[in-house]
């Protein structure tokens, strides 16, 4: 009888350990947090890139980058970038469109941006073949 109880206890502990591992993996894959474990389980080389559309004091702005921290009240966006549209000076010519990173601005900000969630209109993950991700890869 004593051996049966020990065996039952071992089976129960192993079953609980397996259940805990499955729940942990599911949670990491579902929420993408923490990013290092997500990449380990899913095999994604880098964290996903996002479009973050936010209200600013004077209107709205679209920022691109990797969300490296997701707190209750804010996001931290790594290497934030934006699309720069330069209107043509000549009639009939197309505007010049380019991708720029905030860190390249004249005031040299740090390569991270804190965006408060109450200012965010929406967040959209970008596909791996997005031209924005290609622009990031070409900059590095």
Based on the fold, state whether residues 77 and 23 are members of the same structural domain: no
Reduce the DSSP state of residue 90 to 3 states and report it: coil
The pLDDT tens digits of the residues spanning 115-136 come to 999 999 999 999 888 899 888 8
Beta bridge partners of 62: 53
The pLDDT tens digits of the residues spanning 24-50 come to 777 766 666 666 566 666 665 567 899
Does residue 10 surpass a pLDDT of 80? Answer: yes
83 contacts 131 by C-beta, under 8 angstroms: no
Domain that holds residue 128: 49-139
Based on the fold, state whether residues 35 and 97 are members of the same structural domain: no
Based on the fold, state whether residues 30 and 55 are members of the same structural domain: no
66 contacts 47 by C-beta, under 8 angstroms: yes
Q: Based on the structure, what is the number of domains in the chain?
A: 2
53 contacts 62 by C-beta, under 8 angstroms: yes
In angstroms, the Cα distances linking 121 to 52, 55, 72, 81 are 8, 7, 16, 17
Predicted confidence at residue 31, as pLDDT, reads 65
Beta bridge partners of 115: 75
Q: For the whole model, what pTM was predicted?
A: 0.64
Predicted confidence at residue 5, as pLDDT, reads 84
Based on the fold, state whether residues 24 and 64 are members of the same structural domain: no
Based on the fold, state whether residues 123 and 58 are members of the same structural domain: yes
The pLDDT tens digits of the residues spanning 81-116 come to 999 888 888 888 888 888 888 888 888 888 899 999
């Amino acid at each position: 009888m004593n051996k049966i109880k020990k065996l039952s206890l071992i089976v129960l502990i192993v079953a609980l350990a397996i259940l805990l591992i499955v729940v942990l993996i599911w949670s990491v894959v579902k929420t993408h947090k923490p990013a290092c474990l997500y990449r380990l389980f899913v095999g994604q080389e880098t964290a996903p890139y996002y479009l973050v559309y936010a209200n600013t004091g004077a209107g709205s702005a679209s920022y691109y980058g990797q969300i490296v921290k997701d707190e209750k009240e804010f996001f931290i966006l790594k290497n934030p970038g934006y699309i720069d549209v330069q209107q043509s000076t000549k009639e009939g010519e197309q505007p010049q469109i380019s991708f720029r990173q905030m860190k390249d601005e004249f005031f040299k900000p740090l390569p991270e941006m804190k965006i408060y969630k109450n200012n965010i209109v929406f967040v959209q993950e970008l596909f791996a073949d997005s031209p924005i991700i290609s622009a990031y890869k070409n900059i590095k």
